[in-house]
Amino acid sequence: MPKLRVALAQLDPVVGDIAGNANLVLDAARRAHAAGAGIVAVGEMFLTGYPAEDLLYRDSFADASRAELARLATRLRAEGLGEIAVVTGYYDLDGPLTRGPDDGTGGGPRNAAALLYDGQVVTKYFKHYLPNYGVFDEDRYFNRGDRLPIIRLGLPDGDVDLAIVICEDMWATGGPVTAAGEAGVNLVLSINASPYEQTKSDGRLELCQRRAREAGAPLAYVNILGGQDELVFDGDSLVVDAHGELLARAAQFAEELLVVDLDLEPARSTVDGELAAMAVERLRLELPAVPPITSPALVRVAERLSADGEVWSALVLGLQDYIKKNGFRSVVLGLSGGIDSSIVAAIAADAIGPANVVGVSMPTKYSSDHSQSDAADLAKRIGLDFRIVPIAGFVEAINGELGFTGLAEENLQARLRGAIVLMGLSNSEGHLVLTTGNKSELAMGYSTLYGDSCGGFNPIKDVLKTTVWRLSRWRNEEAVRRGQTPPIPENAISKPPSAELRPGQLDTDSLPPYEQLDAILSGYVDGDLGRADLLAAGHDPAIVDRVVRSVDLAEYKRRQSAPLGQKSPERPSAATAASRMTNGWREHG
């Protein structure tokens, strides 16, 4: 029975850094070769980073991707790595650079995978299913492929047939994986750029198990890692056998080279021609120098994170990569002593270290003693750079000239904090300003434009208020479990939330209780439920009408708000623009 040691390199590419990403592939090949692997794979669109968005409309970008692919093959051989097969995702262009769905001319922009060996690009595969829902927009950028290459690997102890597919190809029933099974392959390799969403890891494993059983062959699934603006990729690469049994699984939210030994069925009689709407093409690749497996690879099935641990890790990684990939080294945020700024400070400290986090308390005459002491307590617990900048005098000076009262006076305080103090520190010291509004507030428009919404990134923009409380308790409990000081003061978690912009102010003066509000927002924003559906779920009609109206009217504010740390990639979604969070991807972030 042929044996093959497979390595899956779970890595963090940077959009647009084609040369840098190629270096990551080269390093992965070095480590895989040292581990005795015969083949190593990285994720979808790895050379360009994912999602590359409108960079894909540039001929020069396509040319750079194709040139780097050829150069990578040459470099692998030059460094003595020509004898290991390398599979990488990249951007190809085999026809006119069309805009939108395939115009029928043939060829065009492709979401592609290539197998490199002995200095050559041996074969290419073009993604067949192009997702166009939620955060995915691939039908806009790519033309689909209809060819399935089957690579017969000539191993020292026998032949095996390999099929390569890309991400969504595996989610579709009756697609390329079905065709691979009909063609009689012995191994399916799926390269992916699959964003994190809550509970997705369980569905991902179940899908891989189902597809492996359908193909009658082991399936190796490699995913990319890291934050890209509003998306976070969680890794979670895995391998299952032909019966769906889990053989190996990489960690979530961490780089890893997952190595597994596979006992494969010998290549058998096969079917050619059109299978499951795919044209099967066969080629042979001799791998005579694959090292024999003399001792088994260490089997690793990484422990799964808890539900709250997953979300926390996603928020930390999303912020960490946004800071790094945009060239920042530190962050600054306002510390009010409330739960939202407290959790953002804790996330930032976990992401880049407390020494690189600046927290600023900006009290006014309405700021309570406990809020100021809670902010100081948080700073001491975390160990961040804590500063106090009283702004009461600024408020009085401006009001003395303009005579603001009521809402105008409240918003003035927020704007002085955000646009003047925090942005001033950003300009003078180079910090990235973090905003701290949670999803519940932003959905309802409970924020001040150019005030508390002022900043470059918001780690909790897609986190409901009730989840903020739950995550804060989880993070403190995790600290106790590790023998560390809980970062978030208990009083910041337990006290009633307030913006403290007028005497005795509470959030419930302007918003329904968060338990009721978040349940409705989960249905309306995330679940795409209409008014009738929400009423059928038992929500109060008056509160439903109030929430729906506020969410729709506040879209103009969300359009101007900072990008977030983790946008759920809804599969699939039909929400209206007015009822969903904005997704403001940048091309180079």
Residue tagged active-site, from 68, 124, 167, 461: 167
**Catalytic residue flag (residue 79):** no
The rounded distance, in Å, linking the Cα atoms of 438 and 340 is 7
| Residue recorded with tokens 């109206």 | 549
Cβ 343 vs Cβ 370: under 8 Å: no
Q: Name the residue type at position 575.
A: A
The rounded distance, in Å, linking the Cα atoms of 315 and 460 is 7
Provide the 8-state DSSP code for 511: S
**Catalytic residue flag (residue 182):** no
Element (H, E) at 315: helix 307-325
Residue tagged active-site, from 127, 200, 325, 465: 127
Sheet strands side by side (includes 331-334): 385-388, 357-361, 331-334, 432-433
**Catalytic residue flag (residue 461):** no
Rounded to a whole number of angstroms, the distance between the first and last alpha carbons of the chain is 47
Coarse DSSP helix, strand, coil percentages of the chain, rounded to the nearest 5 percent: 40, 20, 40
Q: Which of 230, 200, 426 is nearest to 315 (CA)?
A: 230
3-class SS of residue 162 = strand
Phi then psi for 225, rounded to 5 degrees? -135, 155
Cβ 228 vs Cβ 55: under 8 Å: no
The rounded distance, in Å, linking the Cα atoms of 446 and 440 is 8
The rounded distance, in Å, linking the Cα atoms of 295 and 264 is 17
Query: Which residues make Cβ contacts (< 8 Å) with residue 152, sequence separation at least 6?
Result: 159, 160, 161, 162, 267, 282, 283, 284, 285
Provide the 8-state DSSP code for 416: I
Residue 541 preceded by cis peptide, ω within 30: no
Cβ 275 vs Cβ 179: under 8 Å: yes
The rounded distance, in Å, linking the Cα atoms of 117 and 39 is 10
CB atoms within 10 A of CB 351: 23
Write out the two tokens for 317: 């990684």
3-class SS of residue 375 = helix
The rounded distance, in Å, linking the Cα atoms of 75 and 68 is 10
Element (H, E) at 439: helix 439-444
Catalytic site positions: 44, 127, 167
